[in-house]
């Protein structure tokens, strides 16, 4: 019997090497981080074309938004303004509450001639800087994509009379989806004149335009850190929690004279530059010593409030702009937070701010004005854990931030 022919050493895979279709390559690459993608652009002209394609940039951003970072605002020195802002992955924070943030001079704001982060949108951070000249302060903006190492020049200059004790500024940053333009909104709270003037800066124009005055009183009504989260961006709109009445309705009496019916959410459409008013959920029907707040969780506008000093309640607007779609998302008992807090009574009078809800809804990250650490609340077993980060982080200024390949915000330079 003749022996069977010997198998060729050359296998089919060697003769015909596997070639992945561009669609599959695009899908796989869309999950990579920006640094890796920048390195992979050098592998071939094909990969470079895929990664720089505008459709891929949008797909990558969509993926990145599912696994974002929190921009940790660190105050090294309150005297000389030596602040840093470090984007830190939410997943790493949840998996290990005890972390050490990188001590990288790249994240120092002073080297960028800025002091605060106004907002985050599509991978870009809006920074604010200023310098004092006599009785006036010159304020400017810069825009920074940390992952791409891109930063704009200073722009949007305005003058502030620091002796004008009854005038306060609030900034907000968002994206106009209609014109595909990034915009900064400036609220000028004129407490003496009992009105709030509004100006808009469209990036690329570098010229402030005045639009219709703000139809209510944004909260908090007095000056606060420009980077504090008192505005949220969602679906091409900026949203503030506000009071219908005027400044004097608060006065020296605090919250005592305010009725829940005075609260309203003001939504500014960045495309039409017009306002609409949204009512808070009907379940918010009783005043509390603790100020309510709004935020965005899982792409939905949310409203949170204290309930009878026993629970912290979060409401979700299922369909943005439809008041009837408010539903109760979570009710968290302060007793479930008591084990990690020294003084239970303090919890009932301290403002809470939801920062992020994990993609599978298992962990809620909360900031508390009396806590130097964020709180990771496990919604499945009602267990609260403090983060353990040695840096002095201002958690009420932390912002959700996603890495992105977006680089055409306007003329940029390497940072």
Distance in angstroms between the alpha carbons of the first and the last residue of the chain = 76
Tell me: do 26 and 102 sit in the same domain. Answer: no
What is the domain count for the chain? 2
The backbone torsions φ and ψ at residue 150, rounded to the nearest 5 degrees and listed phi first, read -120, 140
363/329 same-domain check: yes
Whether residue 269 sits in one domain with residue 345: yes
Within a domain: 8: no
Residues 31, 129 share a domain: no
Concatenating the DSSP letter of every residue in 243-288 gives ESS-GGGTGGGTTTT--GGGEEEEEEETTTTEEEEEPPPTT--S--
- The tens digit of pLDDT for each residue in 178-237 reads 999 999 999 988 777 778 899 999 998 889 999 999 999 888 755 567 788 889 999 999
3-state secondary structure (DSSP) of residue 232: strand
Whether 345 and 384 map to the same domain: the answer is yes
Q: Tell me if 399 sits within 8 A of 120, measured CB to CB.
A: yes
Q: What CATH number does residue 383 fall under?
A: 2.120.10
Q: Distances from the Cα of 349 to the Cαs of 261, 270, 272, in angstroms?
A: 21, 35, 39
209 belongs to a structural domain:
yes
Is 5 within a domain? Answer: no
Pick the closest to residue 297 from 377, 223, 193 (CA basis).
377
Tens digits of residue pLDDT in 253-273? 455 578 889 999 999 999 999
Question: Which of these ranges, 59-68, 207-216, 221-230, 241-250, has the smallest mean pLDDT?
Answer: 241-250
Q: Is the peptide bond before 125 cis (omega within 30 degrees of 0)?
A: no
| 174 shares a domain with 30 | no
Q: Which of 43, 158, 147 is nearest to 87 (CA)?
A: 147
Give the CA count within 13 Å in the CB-facing half-sphere of 110: 12
Interval 84-108: pLDDT, tens: 999 999 999 998 888 888 888 999 9
Mean pLDDT, all residues of the chain: 85
Q: Are residues 335 and 223 in the same domain?
A: yes
- Tokens matching residue 297: 């969780």
For 388, which DSSP code?
Answer: B
Please indicate, yes or no, whether residues 47 and 134 belong to a single structural domain of this protein.
Answer: no
Given this model, what pLDDT does residue 208 score?
Answer: 95
pLDDT of residue 10: 46
85: phi then psi, degrees, rounded to nearest 5: -130, 120
Q: What is the pLDDT of residues 325-337, one digit of tens each?
A: 999 999 999 888 7
Q: Which residues neighbour 351 within 8 Å (Cβ) at sequence distance 6 or greater?
A: 290, 291, 293, 368, 369
**Domain extent for 22:** 13-52
Do 124 and 30 belong to one domain? Answer: no
Higher local confidence (pLDDT), 285 or 345: 285
Supply the pLDDT for residue 14.
52
Tell whether 124 is covered by a domain.
yes
pLDDT (0 to 100) of residue 166: 53
């Amino acid at each position: 019997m003749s022996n069977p022919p010997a198998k060729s050493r050359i296998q089919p895979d060697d003769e015909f090497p596997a070639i992945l279709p561009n669609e599959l390559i695009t899908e796989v690459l869309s999950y990579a981080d920006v640094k890796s993608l920048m390195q992979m652009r050098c592998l071939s002209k094909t990969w470079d074309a895929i990664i720089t394609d505008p459709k891929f940039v949008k797909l990558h951003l969509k993926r990145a938004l599912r696994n974002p970072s929190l921009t940790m605002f660190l105050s090294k020195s309150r005297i000389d303004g030596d602040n840093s802002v470090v984007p830190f992955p939410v997943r790493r924070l949840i998996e290990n509450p005890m972390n050490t943030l990188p001590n990288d001079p790249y994240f120092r704001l002073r080297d960028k001639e800025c002091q605060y982060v106004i907002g985050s949108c599509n991978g870009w951070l809006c920074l604010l800087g200023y310098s004092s000249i006599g009785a006036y302060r010159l304020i400017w903006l810069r825009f920074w994509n940390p992952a791409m190492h891109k930063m704009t020049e200073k722009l949007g200059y305005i003058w502030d009379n620091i002796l004008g004790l009854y005038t306060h500024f609030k900034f907000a940053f968002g994206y106009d989806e209609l014109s595909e333009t990034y915009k900064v909104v400036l609220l000028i709270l004129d407490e003496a004149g009992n009105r709030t003037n509004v100006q808009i800066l469209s990036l690329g124009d570098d010229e402030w335009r005045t639009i219709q005055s703000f139809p209510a009183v944004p909260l908090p009504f007095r000056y606060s850190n420009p980077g504090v989260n008192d505005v949220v961006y969602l679906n091409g709109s900026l949203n503030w929690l506000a009071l219908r009445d005027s400044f004097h309705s608060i006065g020296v009496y605090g919250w005592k004279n305010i009725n829940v019916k005075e609260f309203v959410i003001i939504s500014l459409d960045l495309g039409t530059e017009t306002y609409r008013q949204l009512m808070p959920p009907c379940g918010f029907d009783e005043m509390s010593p603790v100020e309510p707040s709004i935020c965005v969780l899982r792409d939905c506008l949310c409203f949170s409030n204290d309930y009878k000093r026993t629970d912290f309640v979060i409401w979700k607007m299922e369909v943005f702009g439809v008041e009837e779609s408010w539903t109760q998302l979570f009710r968290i008992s302060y007793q479930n937070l008591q084990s990690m807090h020294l003084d239970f009574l303090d919890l009932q009078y301290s403002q809470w701010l939801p920062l992020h809800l994990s993609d599978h809804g298992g962990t809620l990250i909360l900031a508390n004005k009396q806590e130097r650490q964020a709180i990771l609340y496990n919604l499945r077993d009602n267990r609260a854990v403090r983060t353990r980060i040695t840096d002095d982080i201002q958690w009420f200024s932390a912002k959700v931030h996603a890495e992105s390949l977006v680089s055409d915000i306007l003329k940029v330079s390497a940072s």
